[in-house]
Amino acid sequence: MNIKKLNIIIVLGLIATIGILIAQLIWTYKAFTLEEKKFSQKVHIALLEVARELYENNGHEFSTKDLIQRISNDYYIVNVNDNIEPKVLEHYLKTEFSKFNIVTDYEYAIYNCESDDMMYGKYISIDDDLTPKRTIEFPKSNDLVYYFAIRFPQETSYLISSLQFWFVLSFALIVILLVYVYSIYTIIQHKKYSELQRDFINNMTHEFKTPLSSILLASNYLSNQDLIQNDSKLNNYTSIITTQGKKLNNHIEKILNIARNDESALAINPIKIHLFSLLNEIVEPMLMKHENLKVEIEVNPDETIKADEFHFTNVVHNLFDNSIKYSDENPEIKITSTRKNKELRLDFSDNGIGIPSKNISFIFDKFYRVSNKKSTEVNGFGLGLFYVKKIIQQHHWKISAKNNSDKGLTISIIFPNS
């Protein structure tokens, strides 16, 4: 993906996530404010009922004028204008708070005219196991004579617990935002390292190609000299230089192609291919090159697939090349096809050394090579099977590998809807 587009997506995603989080926090605050208002209204109505019952109990006419004063969020004063019995008040408070579903701790105090002071009543807890305690002093009012005060010390925590869902949702959004930021950071770091790696590979391979071209040019010139052609040893040495130089050049080209195609998908031009004929065309020169190679093809001559001929040929060459290189004896390769409904399966089985079970899931990774004695003897960069998988994915096929029951490896390519 283009770095500019990636940055735009990152910024838009970040803005959207932060916007959602801010909106959620605003909604949570509004919900808390609304819950606080509802709680205050319930307390006000409950205290009105308590005052009414106290008036009726004392045989006085009930009046709501200037009856209840809210001093602070959790502190109320009720002007009864008559003597108040603590036990009676406590009974009415418990009854009315229970009726209005006010389930939080509270404490009350009654003004004592004789001592001109607030007489502490009791701390009422909704938790029976909690030891009642006196929390604070109740300030007296200079304007009233017969009144009681009530305070809710746990009001804030009570309101927060009633909005538990909102706070959990807000916390979840914060976690999502943090995960998003971390993921973006990881993507950017990966992108940066990937670009550094690709630039390094491009520079390295281009630096290699200049001296390699000179070596190949010189070796070709030497091999055409009469002195070299008449001396079998010298001719053999120049042939080795030329062969290995070409092999190195192929490796460099392969690395360049992989690095180049990391940025964009490989260009695929699928055409109808007769599978049996193509496999035979590939196998024939392989048999001439490797005298000890044995290949068995069990494929229906009428089988056809839609594939890019150039890339599919390279895929088969890579699979053959691996089977030959990783064989301790005369290599034997068997190609079989099986069809189930519209799905075609092509198996490449060999008699090589196989792959340890713990490593088999990594063999299609870029630059991955199994660490064993044979790998140190075989030249390569771990790009062959990576290229194979890339081509398979571009064609929307599937590929898998498994060890044979006796020896060797089977790589299967599945062609859906072929």
Q: Which of 295-299, 318-322, 369-373, 376-380 has the lowest mean pLDDT?
A: 376-380
Q: How confident is the model at residue 261 (pLDDT cuts 50, 70, 90)?
A: low
Tens of pLDDT along 37-48?
A: 888 888 888 988
pLDDT band for 196, please (50, 70, 90 cuts): confident
- Predicted pLDDT of residue 412: 93
What is the model's pLDDT at position 345? 92
Span 269-327, pLDDT tens digits: 889 999 999 998 888 878 877 888 898 999 988 888 999 888 888 899 889 888 888 88
Determine contact, residues 108/75, Cβ cutoff 8 Å.
no
Backbone phi, then psi, for 37, in 5-degree steps? -65, -45
**b vs e for 22-59, b when ≥16 Cβ sit within 10 Å of the residue's Cβ?**
eebeeebeebbeebbeebbebbeebbbbbbbbbbeeee
| Nearest of 118, 74, 124, 131 to residue 95 by alpha carbon | 124
| Number of neighbouring beta carbons within 10 Å of residue 184 | 17
Instruction: Give mean pLDDT, residues 100-109.
Output: 87
Tokens found for residue 229 = 């052609």
What is the C-alpha to C-alpha distance for residues 180 and 187, in angstroms, rounded to an integer? Answer: 10
When mean pLDDT is compared across 181-190, 272-281, 401-410, the lowest value belongs to: 181-190
Read off φ and ψ for residue 75, nearest 5 degrees.
Answer: -130, 125
User: What pTM, to 2 d.p., does this model score?
Assistant: 0.44
User: What is the band of 414 on the pLDDT scale with cuts at 50, 70, 90?
Assistant: very high
Query: Average pLDDT in the 241-259 region?
Result: 73
Which residues are paired to 339 by β-bridges? 344
Question: Mean per-residue pLDDT for 124-143?
Answer: 67
pLDDT of 374 above 70: no
Give the per-residue pLDDT at 311. 85
Question: 148-176: per-residue pLDDT in tens?
Answer: 888 888 887 777 777 777 778 778 878 88
Q: Which residue is listed with tokens 């200049």?
A: 210
Closest CA to 366 of 378, 390, 382: 382
Residue 154 CB partners (closer than 8 Å, separation 6+): 104, 105
Is residue 64 predicted with pLDDT exceeding 80? Answer: no
Confidence at residue 397, expressed as pLDDT on a 0 to 100 scale: 92
Q: What is the band of 410 on the pLDDT scale with cuts at 50, 70, 90? A: very high
Q: What is the 3-state secondary structure (H, E, C) of 93-133?
A: HHHHHHHCCCCCCEEEEEEECCCCEEEEEEEECCCCCCCCC
The reported pLDDT for the residue numbered 276 is 92
Structure-model confidence comparison of residues 358 and 277, the more confident one: 277
- Per the model's pLDDT, the better-predicted residue between 1 and 354 turns out to be 354
Residue 374: how many CB atoms within 10 A of its CB?
13
DSSP label of 263 = S
Query: Quick check: helix, strand or coil at residue 345?
Result: strand
pLDDT band at 225 (very low <50, low <70, confident <90, very high): confident
pLDDT of residue 265: 55
Residue 211 has pLDDT above 90, yes or no: no
Q: Give per-residue pLDDT as tens, 10-40.
A: 778 778 878 887 887 888 788 888 888 888 8
Measure the CA–CA gap between 173 and 323, rounded to whole angstroms.
52
Q: How far apart are CA 247 and CA 205, in angstroms?
A: 14
Could you tell me the pLDDT band of residue 413, with boundaries at 50, 70 and 90?
very high
